[in-house]
Amino acid sequence: MSEPDRIDALNQSDPGLVRVIEDLIDVLINRGVIQFTDLPEAAQTKLLERRETRASLIKRLQLLSTDPNDDLI
């Protein structure tokens, strides 16, 4: 594999790894190993922004559901 191909493969894996790290942080917080406030303020801000964005997207996707059994108006 060429150097540019390796760099591209590494860059493509980044979003998935970010999600793994987010999930790991959530597990550590839920198990009481760390507290959210133990994280640097910049990390707290980034995590909160991503959670809010994800929640907003999930809400929008649920509103667009095509399932006839959904209770949409």
Q: Is 3 part of any domain?
A: no
Among 39, 41, 2, smallest CA distance to 22 is for 39
Residue 60 in tokens = 């929008």
Q: What is the total count of domains within the chain?
A: 1
Query: pTM for this structure?
Result: 0.69
Residue 67 counted as domain residue: no
Residue 66 lies in a domain: no
What is the amino acid identity at position 68? P
Q: Which domain holds residue 39?
A: 9-61
* pLDDT tens across the length of the chain (73 residues): 899 889 898 888 888 999 999 999 999 999 999 999 999 999 999 999 999 998 999 888 887 766 656 554 4
Residue 24 lies in a domain: yes
